[in-house]
Amino acid sequence: MQLTKIDRANQRLSKMHNSFKAGLFPHYEELYKNLVGFALPLYRSPRLRNDEPIDPTQKSLDELLDYFEGLKSKDFFVNADTHWTYIEYKCNQNIHKRPAYQSLIKLYAPVSNIDLPIIGRTIFDFLVQLDYQFFYKVAHKGRTDNICLWIQPIVFEAVITFLKGLQKHLLPAPTFCPEYHGIGITKELSSSFNEIIAYSLYKYFSYTNQPNVQEYFEFFDNEIARSKTRSYNAFDVAVVSNSLQCIINNECPVNSTKFNITQLDQAIKDQFIWR
């Protein structure tokens, strides 16, 4: 029997809580690393010397990153840091109407380390073919969110249909991110979705003996959303709040009339009610 999203989330909560009690998360940053599936620091491998064995997967990923670096032009903006390569496809037809990240829909398309070079290029080429402005990033190493894309609502269903065709290559969406046809859906935050989850879970695990998603949401709502000293803005908290409620109520983050993620925008700053 296939587990539901909330079942998987509850299992993950239990495992993380056990690790927390065992002292494996002395700070919420360690919990964050557990959520995203890697241990810092991560660095892109330096060029191999002649006497070093060749890792085909790393070589293919380096070739993909080099391909992205070579795209720099009036239509492409490419940037890289220690962990990610970022690409913005400007697209001439929209070059004077650059949408902010938060007006777009963010999708997670994580894949295995082996599939990352090929699937990363496959998804990227499809987005270029659609010819609408998008943002895209690919991780330099494996993690649970190693391919992220930000797309305009007009191409949303086309991109989802395409990703569904790659389903056998895709890994599950992040645990606390709601899904649409198996694809993780969220919005770009001023902070980080996984960082907010990690921070709030770290506090929640000190509060509970038997964690579950419903109780975690209630804790989040009381201690994070309503906190007068909260570190996160209303928009960010609203996205996480809606995400958790989608999972609890088995609501679709796209079609829900109550917890729709794709319809959230910065106007939520004035509309979100701190209960």
pLDDT tens string 126-169: 999 999 999 999 998 878 899 999 999 999 999 999 999 999 99
Residue type, 251: E
- Summarize the confidence of residues 238-243 as an average pLDDT: 94
Residues 6+ apart with CB under 8 A from 26: none
Q: Report residue 120 as tokens.
A: 């990363």
What pLDDT was estimated at residue 263? 87
pLDDT tens profile 194-223: 999 999 999 999 999 999 999 999 999 998
Residues 92/75, Cβ–Cβ less than 8 Å: yes
pLDDT tier for residue 39 given thresholds of 50, 70 and 90: very low
Is 36's pLDDT higher than 70?
yes
Domain boundaries, the chain: 5-36+191-271, 56-171
How many Cα atoms occupy the beta-carbon half-sphere of 144 within 13 Å?
17
pLDDT score recorded for residue 24: 94
Better pLDDT: 54 or 213: 213
First-to-final CA distance of the chain: 37
Average pLDDT, the chain: 86
The mean pLDDT value for 235-240 works out to 91
Query: Is residue 21 within a helix (H) or strand (E), and if so which, with residue range?
Result: helix 5-21
Residue 50 has pLDDT above 90, yes or no: no
Q: For 45-64, what is the mean pLDDT? A: 68
The predicted-structure confidence for 256-275, as pLDDT tens digits, reads as follows: 999 999 988 755 544 443 33
Q: How confident is the model at residue 87 (pLDDT cuts 50, 70, 90)?
A: very high
pLDDT bracket for residue 47 (50, 70, 90): very low
